Homo-oligomer: A and B are copies of this chain.
Amino acid sequence: MKLDHIDTPAALIDIARMQKNIARMQGRMNALGVAFRPHVKTTKCIDVVRAQIAAGARGITVSTLKEAEAFFAAGVNDILYAVSIVPAKLPRALALRRQGCDLKLAVDNPTAAAAVAAFGDQHGETFEVWIEVDTDGHRSGITPEQHTLLEVGRILHDNGVNVGGVMTHAGSSYELHTPQALAALAEQERAGCVRAAQRLRDAGIPCPAVSVGSTPTALAVGQLEGVTEVRAGVYVFFDLVMHNVGVCALEDIALSVLATVIGHQADKGWAILDAGWMAMSRDRGTSRQSHDFGYGQPCLLNGTPLAGYVVSGANQEHGILSLTSSSASGDEGGHADDIAQRFPIGMKLRILPNHACATGAQFPEYHAVSPEGNSVEWRRFQGW
């Protein structure tokens, strides 16, 4: 289908940009000599993941058991569920293992470790568990020097659980914006995770995998000694937050929302779009960054960004397109009533999102667009 015929709002994937992003990340990982395990929470789409695997990815990372179930059903076997498991979720994990899925669980506390061991013992299943390490104080995990690290390792190892490795995610990288700061955090992430693995091994606990990653640190890291694999998710599409972090150009962003101009408030300099926050998501991640993109960066249908314009406001099904405040007061501003002439009723635009993971989640399907402008539907799933 041609872009002109797609009902709006719609989520578009620029296939050429996506393939370029995949090749860039996989090429870096190949050069660094580590395996790459993409995080599929960004897309929840088997077509995208097939492209990542075709480029060389080994296994996937998931953030929900539904992702694990859906991707296993689609033929992916090596799956890391990278959120600390709780007892009530073990039956679903067991069911996947019993079907032959090479599912690896994660824990970051003794209670969860003991629960996995007891449940495995009860059901005669040898679970594989990775221990989550905290290398930047950002969220969850055990810090490398904490006593709890060895305690958790022992609970698992001494009770018949296969300790598969350690994993960390330096999510605070999203708050940085210089190559130097990113490289320093990437080294901190690497060193902390390798140190945790070493402590486990020194205590006689096996720790084959050492898994690190976030999109910014994966693209900034200089060397990965001691690391066996990297995980990253949003790189496959990139977004405006990643642009502000400094790891992609606007022209690399592969996800956009196709929208139509449905009205104007000329005296306010507004064009009204049929893409509100239900389409863009409520993510305002760029509001804390150097460049606030509002609810998104408008572009022409061919992908060219409309400099000086922004989606400045959003209701559920209405977006407000206007000049940025600096453009409105500056020379490039023009007259307010130009808005209706420049953006007539029915005109279609593409809006780059703040956060690809959040925007994609608003849609039941993507329209994947070829360089020739033809599109096919790629389903994505929702829920847990």
Contact = CB atoms under 8 A, between A and B. Distances in A.
Interface of A: 7-10, 41, 63-65, 83-89, 92, 108-109, 111-112, 115, 134, 137, 139-140, 171, 260-265, 268, 272, 274, 277-279, 281-284, 315-318, 320, 344-346, 355, 357-358, 361-365, 382-384
Number of copies: 2
A86 B258 CA distance: 14
> Which 3 residue pairs spanning A and B have beta carbons closest together?
A282-B282, A111-B345, A364-B383
A309 B342 CA distance: 49
Most chain B CB neighbours (cut-off 10 Å) among A10, A134, A282: A282
Nearest to A63: B317
Contacts of A346: 86-88, 111, 115
Given A109-B264, A317-B41, A357-B316, A384 B86 contact: no
14 contacts: A8-B88, A64-B317, A83-B274, A86-B261, A87-B345, A87-B346, A108-B263, A109-B345, A111-B344, A112-B262, A140-B263, A140-B318, A282-B284, A362-B382
Given A84-B272, A281-B282, A140 B265 contact: yes
A281 B111 CA distance: 29
Contact of A84 (B10, B109, B263, B320): B263
B109 A41 contact: no
A382 B384 contact: no
Given A272-B140, A365-B383, A260 B86 contact: yes
Given A262-B84, A264-B109, A10 B316 contact: no
A92 B265 CA distance: 26
Given A64-B317, A83-B274, A316-B63, A364 B382 contact: yes
A318 B137 CA distance: 14
A7 B88 contact: yes
Contacts of A89: 7
A41 B316 contact: yes
B317 A7 contact: no
A41 B276 CA distance: 13
A139 B345 contact: no
Nearest to A277: B358
A112 B263 contact: yes
A272 B139 contact: yes
A223 B72 CA distance: 59
A81 to B, nearest CB: 10
A282 B89 CA distance: 25
Contacts of A272: 84, 139-140
A87, A109, A261 pick with most chain B CB within 10 angstroms: A109
A114 to B, nearest CB: 10
A345 B7 contact: no
Of listed A63, A65, A268, A383, residue having the most chain B CB within 10 A: A383
Contacts of A65: 7
